[in-house]
Structure 1
Amino acid sequence: MAALTFFHSTMNAGKSTHLLQAAHGYSEGGGNALLFTSAIDNRAGVGRIASRIGIAADAYPLHAGEDLFDIVARSIALAPVSAVLIDEVQFLSPAQIQQAAKIVDHFQIPVLAFGIKNNSLGQLFGPAVCELLAIADVIKEIERVCHCGRKATMILRYDPSGQAVKAGAVVEIGGEDRYISVCRPHWMEGDIGPTRRAALVPDAVAA
């Protein structure tokens, strides 16, 4: 039975790796998986899904206002589609999440959506995540470990001196070196851990 599945995690937990592995699995089985990513995310180039372990693939860069269902329907008219895989789903709109569900229900093909659940302010990332949590058939967590060994459930943003930043803009594309995934207690404490502290620029810490 086809399903809309939301794979969520904190940052640097291997979401893109999981997506690319799934795409490879469909390809190896003779299937055709359509890959999408948000046009907002240009870290590896617009329309490019890249994993930190060195694998990558081209994807359709979905812009705000585009109809995901219509795009997939046009593709299905040309060739069978085995699945739809979406990276950085937190940047989509609630309407596009509803369109993803419509793909599952109308065409009976699975949609696998990968994204971040919480932002660095300790809130759900945005309306798309809220919509997914409400209507997804399956919700799965991709786990990551905090520097203390506990499961990381929060994203901590920090400034050049290592101090936690819990205000301001949520989205900062390309600022991965200013974020770390931590457990809730260390998010509350603003503790980035010994490895990140050791990598801080001494002048910034002194300031």
Structure 2
Amino acid sequence: MAQLFFEYGAMSSGKSIEILKVAHNYESQGRKVLLMTPIVDSRNGVGVVASRIGLSREAVTVQPDQNLYQLIKKMKNDNLAVVLIDEAQFLAAEQVDQLAYVVDNLNIPVMTFGLKQDAFNHLFEGSKRLIELADKLEEMKTICSFCGKKATTQLRIVDGKPQREGAQVFIGGDEAYIPTCRHHWFNPDLDKIAEMFSTDHDQ
């Protein structure tokens, strides 16, 4: 039976490399994958899934109001084996419902990857709905930038300082976010942030 998966983790937990690995594994067995990413994520160009270690490939862009069930249904007769969606936190709740329909009605597994919460520790719309509907949830782990314990969220840095309010969607990578544990999200080491963003992030 097909299932709806949601693999989530803080920034730098390897979500994009994992989705690229899954796609490669399917394709190495001669099975077709549909790789998708929301159009809002344009860090590496529109319609590109890219990892921090340099691997990337093109993907189908997901528009905010696109009906994913209808799109995937049209491709069902094309030997489609799995649907893979990067940055799934940016999906609308209705689109997550449509992915559940894909699993239940078309019997195609759907694997989604993304952040669970934003930089202010609030759930993204897509992530919230995935948590409610997914058959399987799996956390991808990385470590806190300050203490080395498990990171559970990410801290947004703007002009070298932690940002505590602003737009939920602020596209950026290592130059704008660092993974942290809950304690250091509330109590970041400002001296270390100044050091990190005056050296590594400027190179």
In the alignment, residue 199 of structure 1 is paired with which amino acid? Answer: M
Deviation at 1:12, TM superposition (A): 1.4
In the alignment, residue 44 of structure 1 is paired with which amino acid? Answer: N
Deviation at 1:175, TM superposition (A): 5.1
What is the CA–CA distance in structure 2 between the aligned matches of 1:3 and 1:120, rounded to whole Å?
A: 29
What is the CA–CA distance in structure 2 between the aligned matches of 1:61 and 1:200, rounded to whole Å?
A: 32
Kept in 2, the 8 Å contact 1:186–1:192? The answer is no
Kept in 2, the 8 Å contact 1:6–1:114? The answer is yes
SS in 2 for 1:174: coil
What is the CA–CA distance in structure 2 between the aligned matches of 1:47 and 1:173, rounded to whole Å?
A: 14
Kept in 1, the 8 Å contact 2:76–2:106? The answer is no
Q: CA 1:193–1:112 in 2, change beyond 3 Å: closer, same or farther?
A: farther
What is the CA–CA distance in structure 2 between the aligned matches of 1:200 and 1:144, rounded to whole Å?
A: 20
Identity %: 37
**Residue aligning to 1:152:** 151
Kept in 2, the 8 Å contact 1:180–1:192? The answer is no
Using the size of structure 2 for normalisation, the TM-score is 0.92
Q: Deviations over 1:76-122 (max 9, x none)?
A: 13x11100000011111111100111111112121000010011111
What runs of 5+ residues in structure 1 fail to find an aligned partner?
Answer: 203-207
What is the CA–CA distance in structure 2 between the aligned matches of 1:8 and 1:185, rounded to whole Å?
A: 20
Deviation at 1:199, TM superposition (A): 3.2
In the alignment, residue 7 of structure 2 is paired with which amino acid? Answer: F
What is the CA–CA distance in structure 2 between the aligned matches of 1:99 and 1:72, rounded to whole Å?
A: 10
Using the size of structure 1 for normalisation, the TM-score is 0.90
**Residue aligning to 1:205:** none
**Residue aligning to 1:127:** 125
SS in 1 for 2:22: helix
Q: CA 1:111–1:192 in 2, change beyond 3 Å: closer, same or farther?
A: farther
Structure-to-structure mapping, 1:59-98, within 5 angstroms: 59-77=59-77, 79-98=78-97
Structure-to-structure mapping, 1:83-122, within 5 angstroms: 83-122=82-121
Deviation at 1:191, TM superposition (A): 2.8
Aligned-residue CA RMSD in angstroms? 1.6
Q: Deviations over 1:136-179 (max 9, x none)?
A: 00000000111311000011112323x32111112111354121
Q: Deviations over 1:37-79 (max 9, x none)?
A: 00111111111111111111111100011111111111113x1
Structure-to-structure mapping, 1:185-200, within 5 angstroms: 185-191=183-189, 194=192, 196-200=193-197
Structure-to-structure mapping, 1:22-41, within 5 angstroms: 22-41=22-41
Kept in 2, the 8 Å contact 1:84–1:112? The answer is yes
SS in 2 for 1:143: coil
What runs of 5+ residues in structure 2 fail to find an aligned partner?
Answer: none
Paired residue total: 198
